[in-house]
Structure 1
Amino acid sequence: MSTARRYFAPVVLPADPGTSVIRDAIVDVGQDGRIAYCGTSAAAPPATDDVPHTRLTGILTPGLVNTHAHSPMTLLRGLGGDLPLLSWLQDVIWPAEARMVARDAGAGMLLGCAEMLRFGVTTSAEMYAHAEAVVEAALHAGSRVLVTPAYFDRPGGDWRADVAAIGRWIDADGLRFGPGERVELGYGPHSAYTLPPEALRSTAEEAALRGALVHIHVAETLAEDVAQREQFGSVPQLLKDTGLLDGRLLAAHAVRLSASDIALLADSGAGVAHCPGSNAKLASGTAPLHALRSASVTVGLGTDGPASNDDLDLWEEARLAMMFARLATGDPMSLTAEEAFLMATSVGAAALGRSDIGSLRPGNWADMVHISVDGPYFTAGLDIADSHLFANLMWAAGSREVRDVWVAGEPVVVDGETVRVDRTAATRAAAEATARVIGAG
């Protein structure tokens, strides 16, 4: 349960479109877990005597938003690490996942939540099976999660039943539920190459009825792209033809895109989850980030699963995104530290169709991260140019200096350690689950 509290910080980065830097700042959090004020101390409303306050010593930012993850795959780290995507999935990952039961996925998710929270990632968009166990683990950890249960058209699968089950769940519990609305439900059709057009069309219709997000892998590899172009024109064209671009859509990876594909995504308002680390490890390619952003497509950052990355550190993805964008364009200004910060926070939230997270503004959930400036990454201090401050944060400090984290105003990490997850016990449970899943092979 959140309690009203006033936070003082030398610097607050609210993640507004102008990448403001608020110095000598105050953030007020109400009993409802939402931000009541974010601004300078001089302009802050008077605080009542009964409201406790906390004086922070570093930088306060919004919680980071991981726009594409399969976090229960903490159990599968390192499996098939030198294989390309399709053989990695078909020969290694899918057989292992077929041996998972709900408690295994829950153990993997709990460990993943603890990892993300300690990195300052407060929200993740999860595509996975055993969705109820995924939700339970996230609520245990105190994380915020957008859960899109995955479904396929393959032996043992029944996408019709899966689509119907998601609809029943949303109708029963609502699109968002849990303390601080920590859980949002959506649809997770795996991809165009694992489902027939009929499944995509049905997904579009059911999601539209409920205003739900559809989270799908899009044009991730060359082999997928060639096959889909021959049959349907392209993956984005198929998404348009089946109605998926008419609603809320999150396109994960979006590596193999033509100019017309990018225009389709831009015209529809679809969000994109850019996963540079996973795409590089699997040799899938580099997404056309500059072209997407130039077309005003909303692009957030995603880690993908911790078996294809192999961690859940979104700060690292931001650094990779900056490096790859600069290499691809030959322009050191193609993605600045300030822009990468927004991709990890407010723009990432917008890619999920959310405006109530990802930025520190009144009315938003108080998902916040306190960055220490006592280490070696801020030797110049905080009384420096704004661009210098963002550079030190995004290029140097990142997850290494996350000290405290709150979700909906509730502390979930204090002095670098999770307060709702016993990490020793969570690691032990995950290790036992990994032994069952891998040992059965």
Structure 2
Amino acid sequence: MSLLVVRARLITMVGDDLGYTEDGWLHAADGRIVALGSGEPPAIADAEVVDVAGAFVAPGFVSAHSHLFTSGARGLGVDSTLYGWCDSMLGLMAHASPEDYYWATLHGSLDFIANGTTTAFDFTDPRIPWEPMVDGAKTGAGELRPFAHQAAQIDAKADAGLRFVNAASLDDAIGSDDEVVDRFGLVVDHCASVDPDLCLGAAIMGAVQWSPRPNAAELEVAVMRRYGVINEAHFLETREEVELQRSKFARYRDAGALGPDLVFGHFIQTTPEIIAEAAAGGAGMSWQPASNGRLASGTADLPTIRAAGMRVGLGLDDQACTDVADPWQNMRMGMYSVRAATGDPASMLPEDVLRMATLGSAEVLGVADRVGSLEPGKLADLVVVDPRSPDVGPLWHPVRSYVLAMSQRNLKRVYVGGVLAAQDGVPTNPLAARAVEEVHRRMPEVAARGGYPV
């Protein structure tokens, strides 16, 4: 299968001004980008020619931090910060079956694709259901659910056609050290059974922040080394118990976890010393500005973090704490929140957040060899965004207008592997209509099953 896109405003994310090229063309075949350029396109026999008539063509967005199983739980916990919101949303999902998780995850994955996100780092819901926090840690009193709960979430992302890195908790509140390490192998094996162009890798959902085990960091490092996976840890997110949170940074440092394979998710309640140590160790960060605002968690110190040299990716987080899976909203909220905090417009520019939301996220996740930019040899994941439908006026600085003035109304097409995956906000996946029906039927049943007040 071959695709030739012509008359495009290309944003490749490579080179000066993020590789912006007017009157560009792109050729993709067998799921990957073959060539791209400007001016007269080549004549390619049997190619599907798509004339975008001056629309932007840019990489599909890469979310560096997501929880796709929450797609049926939007609007909950709106008057709560992180832990109260978790009690509300995850308390509901604690009563869901593997089939419920499958359809909710499929619904969330298709929502991402329809909104322009073609790759996601996704945290599967742990096998131990959500427990209330006591003194900054989980109680460890839950029961280990069957692996089918996690397998269903992996299968749903693959069936949606979303590219993903699949992260799973170690659920270290249950089992011996050896059992915890061995159990993660189930995740690795199941991911390996999926098309490698869809499942881009397995990863750990770092949980030292909440683990009741004093050796949680050492266990995570043991799993990282044994299976060769990265670790993204929810860390320093909420305003509650800040000093207790910060004290746990030493656990990662002392366990030898700091390095390119460790990503700190959120990383809001930092200190200059913690930032300096994390940067010196080579760790990265995923930034979720929309959910950080929704949960009143705060604004991460991006100027200091970037000046220290940390790699930063942008994450949409989940539909239950951003409610709308809109990458343009997320970019703008991030840029505006930093500017509001610093008083300096130059502290975060449109091109900064666009890079974080595409190639920057891919780099943080270790998948930049496959996604995040439009380059020959990479997977042909791209969005077509029309600045004249609706019209936004003259494009004085096209790349900046792409961030500042575009919205879901302008997003016309999404391609994954050179194949049309969504058009005008509607997924082409044959399971899409059923996913909507299943989520609307199942989620009230889940609530009733648990006697859950929604």
- 1:20 maps to 2:19: yes
Instruction: List alignment gaps of at least 5 residues for structure 1.
Output: none
Q: CA contact under 8 A between 1:193 and 1:224: conserved in structure 2?
A: no
Residues 301 and 354 of structure 1, relative CA distance in 2, 3 Å threshold? same
Q: SS of the counterpart of 1:343?
A: helix
Contact 1:217 1:252 in 2 (8 A): yes
Structure 1 counterpart of 2:389, from 375, 378, 383: 375
Distance 1:201 1:377 in 2: 54
- Paired with 1:93 and 1:415, the residues of 2 have a C-alpha distance of 30
Unpaired stretches in structure 2, ≥5 consecutive residues: 126-148
Count of residue correspondences: 424
Q: Residue 197 of structure 1: CA displacement?
A: 3.8
2:171 paired with 1:166:
no
8 Å Cα contact 2:335-2:349 kept in structure 1: yes
The residue correspondences of 1:19-58 to structure 2 (distance < 5 A) are 19-31=18-30, 33-41=31-39, 46-57=42-53, 58=55
CA 1:173 to 1:418, structure 2 compared with 1: closer, same or farther past 3 Å?
Answer: closer
How much has 1:328 moved relative to structure 2? 1.2
**What CA deviation, in whole Å up to 9, does each residue of 1:365-409 have, x standing for no partner?**
1111111223234322xxx44xx2223221221332111111122
Distance 1:354 1:285, change over 3 A: same
Matched, 1:299 2:312: yes
The offset of 1:224, in angstroms, is 4.1
Is 2:164 the counterpart of 1:145?
A: yes
Correspondence 1:251 to 2:251: no
Instruction: Give the alignment of 1:180-329 within 5 angstroms.
Output: 180-229=197-246, 233-235=247-249, 237-246=250-259, 248-329=261-342
Q: Is the 8 A contact 1:377 1:397 kept in 2?
A: no
Aligned partners of 1:151, 1:311: CA distance in 2, in Å? 29
> Is the partner of 1:316 in helix, strand or coil?
helix
User: More deviation in 423-432 or 61-70?
Assistant: 423-432
- Deviations, residues 326-356 of structure 1 (Å, cap 9, x unaligned): 1111111111111111111111111112212
Say whether the 8 Å CA contact 1:24–1:40 is kept in structure 2: yes
Q: By how many angstroms is 1:193 displaced?
A: 2.2
Q: Per-residue deviation at 1:92? A: 2.3
Q: 2-side partners of 1:160 and 1:417: how far apart?
A: 46
How is 1:52-67 mapped onto 2 (pairs within 5 angstroms)?
A: 52-57=48-53, 58-67=55-64
Q: CA deviation at 1:219?
A: 0.7
| Greater Cα shift, 145-154 or 102-111 | 145-154
1:199-257, CA deviations, whole angstroms, 9 ceiling, x for partnerless residues?
A: 3212212212332111210111232431134xxx342x321212222451221100011
| Matching residue of 1:103 | 99
Select between 53-62 and 392-401 the one with higher mean Cα deviation: 392-401
What is the distance in 1 between the residues matched to 2:367 and 2:219?
24
Q: 1:350: which partner in 2?
A: 363
What amino acid does structure 2 have at the position aligned with 1:194?
A: S
Give % identity. Answer: 27
* 1:433 and 2:439 correspond: no
One-letter code of the match for 2:289?
Answer: P
Could you list the per-position Cα deviations for residues 49-103 of structure 1 after superposition, in whole angstroms to 9, with x for gaps in the alignment? Answer: 24342222211000001111111111221222211212332x3234323212211
| Aligned counterparts of 1:206 and 1:319: Cα–Cα separation in 2 | 36
Q: Secondary structure at the match of 1:220?
A: coil
AA of the residue aligned to 2:93: E
The alpha-carbon distance between structure 1 residues 160 and 369, as it changes in their structure 2 partners (threshold 3 A), is farther
Pick closer, same or farther for the CA change 1:294–1:246 going to 2, 3 Å.
closer
Q: Could you say which residue in structure 2 is the equivalent of 1:68? A: 65
The 1:150–1:400 alpha-carbon spacing in structure 2 relative to 1, beyond 3 Å, is farther
CA distance in 1, matches of 2:220, 2:303: 30
Given the superposition, is the C-alpha separation of residues 250 and 426 from structure 1 closer, same or farther in structure 2, using an over 3 Å criterion? same
Relative to structure 1, is the Cα distance of residues 341 and 103 closer, same or farther in structure 2, using a 3 angstrom cutoff? same
1:399-429 deviation line (CA, Å, top 9, x unaligned)? 3211111112222113432111444321221
CA change 1:227–1:354 in 2 (3 A) is same
CA-CA distance at 1:153 after TM superposition = 4.6
